Amino acid sequence: MRTGRLRHRCTIERPGEDQQDPSTGAMIKSWEEVGKAWMAIEPLSARAFIAAQAAQSEVTGQLVMRYRPNLQLDSTMRVRHSGKIYNIEGVLPDNESGREHITLPYSEGLNDG
C-alpha cells in the first residue's frame, strides 16, 4: 500500500455511556476515543454509488487504514475527521494476508458537535 494514500489523521470512536441533558432530560449519546490512525477517505465512484443506491445500501465510501492487531473495530464505531462523521458499516481485511490493511465501508453521519 502506498503511504501517500493514508494522508488523513482520523479519530476512531466507540459508543460511550448515554448521558442525560440536565436542561431537557433527553438522553444524549456519548462517544469515547479509541485511537487515531492515518486513513485514506475514498468516496464511491459514480457507478458504485448508483449500484449501492439500487441495493438500498447506505454506504457512500470507504476508509482504508493499516492493519493494527491491538485495535478491534466493529460496525458500532465511527470515525471523525475535520468535523465530519463516518459511520463504520463493516470491517474488511485485505485479500492477501488479512494483516496489511483494513477497509471500512462508511455512511456519512450527522455531526453532533
pLDDT at 55 (0 to 100): 54
8 Å CB contact between 63 and 86: yes
pLDDT at 39 (0 to 100): 96
Mean pLDDT of 13-20: 92
Domains of the chain: 3-16+27-109 (2.40.10.270)
Residue 111: exposed, middle, or buried by beta-carbon count in 10 A (0-12, 13-18, 19+)?
Answer: exposed
* Residues forming beta bridges with residue 111, ordered by sequence position: none
Q: Closest Cα partner for 10 from 66, 70, 52? A: 66
DSSP assignment letter at 50 = H
Instruction: Work out the pLDDT band at 110, boundaries 50, 70, 90.
Output: confident
Q: The pTM is what?
A: 0.80
Instruction: Write the pLDDT tens digit of every residue in 77-98.
Output: 999 999 999 999 999 998 888 7
Mean pLDDT of 50-79: 83
Instruction: Write the pLDDT tens digit of every residue in 23-61.
Output: 998 998 899 999 999 999 998 866 655 555 555 568 889
The amino acid at residue 59 is: V
